[in-house]
Every structure is written in C-alpha cells, then in structure tokens.
Amino acid sequence: MKILANDGISQSGQKALEAEGFEVITTNVAQEQLINYINENTIAVLLVRSATKARKELIDACPSIKIIGRGGVGMDNIDVDYAKSKGIHVINTPASSSLSVAELVFAHLFSGVRFLHHSNRNMPLDGDTKFNNLKKAYAKGIELRGKTLGIIGLGRIGQEVAKIGIGLGMKVIGTDKFIEKTTVKMEFFNGHSFDVTLESQPFEEVLKQSDFITLHVPAQKEYVIGEKEFEMMKDGVGIINAARGGVIDEVALDNALTSGKVAFAGLDTFENEPTPAIKILMNDKISLTPHIGAATNEAQDRIGTELASQIVSIMKS
C-alpha cells in the first residue's frame, strides 16, 4: 500500500510506516500534476502540510485515496467535510507542534521588545562605523516580566503560550469563543508541577488590557483583528500572528505600526502566502519568519510518528 508524503515526513515517521509494510514516497509532486500522479501510482494515503491542497476536485478524481493526513493543526487546505462524506478518513496532529509554535511566539516577542529584528538588519551595515549610535537607538528595551499577555484562542497552542508566559512572570489573560475555562499544568525539570486555571474573558477586554497580543485561532472568513480592534488596544502594543494568514488585516496593521499604535509585530503567517505583501516584508517594525511555527526537529518527529500511528490504526483495523 502506497503513501505519498507530498510535503515530506520525518525519518522516524517514515521508518514507522515502512516497518508496518507501507511504501512511503516522499517525491514532491506539483499541485497541477498531483491527480495524475496519485492515479498512476494508486496512492492510498496522501500526507500534506500547508503547501499541498486536497480539494473536492482531487478527492473526486482520485478513488484510490483512503486517508488524507495533515502534518500539523489547521486543515484549511483540505476539504475535510467533503472528504469524509466520500468515506475518506481525514487525520491531523493537533498536539504535536504546539510547543514549537509557542516558542516561536516568544522568539518574536523577545525580538520585538529588544529590537533584535531591527538591529540584526542594521548591525551588518553600520555596526563598525555607527556602533554608539545603534547602541543608543536600541537602549530602550522593555522586559516581559510583569506585563500582560493576551491570548486570542485558548486551544492547545494558546495553552502552551500561556505556560511560557506564566513561567516568565507575565500576567496571562485569554479569550476563546468555545472554551470557557481551561487548566494548564506547569511542569518543571525537578518533577514539581502545579495547575493554573485560565478563564476566557470578553474579547474586547483582552484587547484593551494587553501589553502584547498573540493569536491562536483557525482561518476565518473575516479578520479577527482589523482597524476597529487596533483602536481598542493600548498604545504601543505588540502583536504576534503565528496562527493563520488572514486573521489580521495587514493593511490596518501597517497603518497601526506607522502611527505608533502598535510598537512592533511578529508575523509567521501572511495573507498572501507564498508571496507576502512587499510593504509588510519591508516594514522594519515587523519581525518576520516564513511560516515555520511547527518547523523544529522535535515537532516534525512527533508529527511523523503520530501520523504513522493513526494510519496504521485505520488501515489495520
């Protein structure tokens, strides 16, 4: 039985599948050639990340497909309900990459409060001739400890973000349409642990109270953060989006950065991937990464082995 991991799979995941007798193909097939490739090779399982799309057209044209798997959380690149209506199993790995995404959120936060995204651009240009000028320019950093972190979306990733924020001594508040209350377990290297309960607060209150805001919600039909929401925020707020492109109105964000309403932003996802707006890419108040929230060795190992476990369970049942 053949599995096409079109956007790749970790070695650990591939080995686990091959040990169960599956043939794993890691060739990256272009989207426009994917239907033909699946049919010519009688692919039973299609594994994707965010690049490959599994839409109705592909589902209808590829009767050999039994499982579509997404290595990650969001499945907006798959027509999930339609696939299920055709008897296809649709699986993902919602827990495997949560910690990696949460750590990237804080990479962007630390970059923003200490101007790392800006100084890393300017030190190679002027560090040898204007060192003291740059030192003065970046001398007004702030600490995260004691500040209020607002989390929009208290799912798995939002909870991991909360844990790190609490560990740093931040006041953590959150809002979620579907979760009224959640408990996060703070675990330490020496085996000690304690629980912290987070209650969902009104969306508007989180916007008003937070020094920093991070989004952890799926793709939406409308913007979650637009001009109106920026107006509710504190002056000088920092905002991070490592969720999905399109949850923040990037035109409104650019305006808010220009006016100083937003002090800095950290973006891992963009409205127009894989060709983000040049105006956003060139804004030196934005810390930028190319949608790499889940791209750690550890997360990819967990994703690969979790996908393998689910596939084996389905196909061997």
Same fold, 2-94+297-316 and 98-288: yes
pLDDT value of position 317: 76
114 catalytic residue (yes or no): no
* pLDDT tens by residue, 118-176: 999 999 999 999 999 999 999 999 999 999 999 999 999 999 999 999 999 999 999 99
pLDDT value of position 165: 98
pLDDT value of position 189: 96
Query: Looking at 244, 271, 302, 306, which residue is catalytic?
Result: 244
How far apart are alpha carbons 112 and 117 in whole angstroms? Answer: 7
273 catalytic residue (yes or no): yes
The CATH classification of domain 2-94+297-316, taken from the options 3.20.20.140, 3.40.50.2300, 3.40.50.1400, 3.40.50.720? 3.40.50.720
* pLDDT tens by residue, 296-306: 999 999 999 99
* pLDDT tens by residue, 78-117: 999 999 999 999 999 988 999 999 999 999 999 999 999 9
**pTM of the predicted protein model:** 0.91
* pLDDT tens by residue, 275-296: 999 999 999 999 999 999 999 9
Query: Looking at 118, 216, 291, 302, which residue is catalytic?
Result: 291
- Cα dist. 139→114, 119, 283 in Å? 8, 11, 20
291 catalytic residue (yes or no): yes
Band of the pLDDT at 26, cuts 50, 70, 90? very high
* pLDDT tens by residue, 180-238: 999 999 999 999 999 999 999 999 999 999 999 999 999 889 999 999 999 999 999 99
pLDDT value of position 73: 84
Helices 297-316 and 98-113, axial angle in degrees (round to 10): 160
Q: What is the mean pLDDT of the chain?
A: 97
Tokens standing for 270?
């963009």
Query: Looking at 20, 103, 114, 273, which residue is catalytic?
Result: 273
Place of tokens 């990464």: 289
pLDDT value of position 226: 98
**Domains of the chain by residue range:** 2-94+297-316, 98-288
The CATH classification of domain 98-288, taken from the options 3.40.190.10, 3.40.50.720, 3.40.50.300, 3.90.1150.10? 3.40.50.720
* Three-state SS letters, 165-217: HHHCCCEEEEECCCCCEEEEEEECCCCCEEEEEEEECCHHHHHHHCCEEEECC
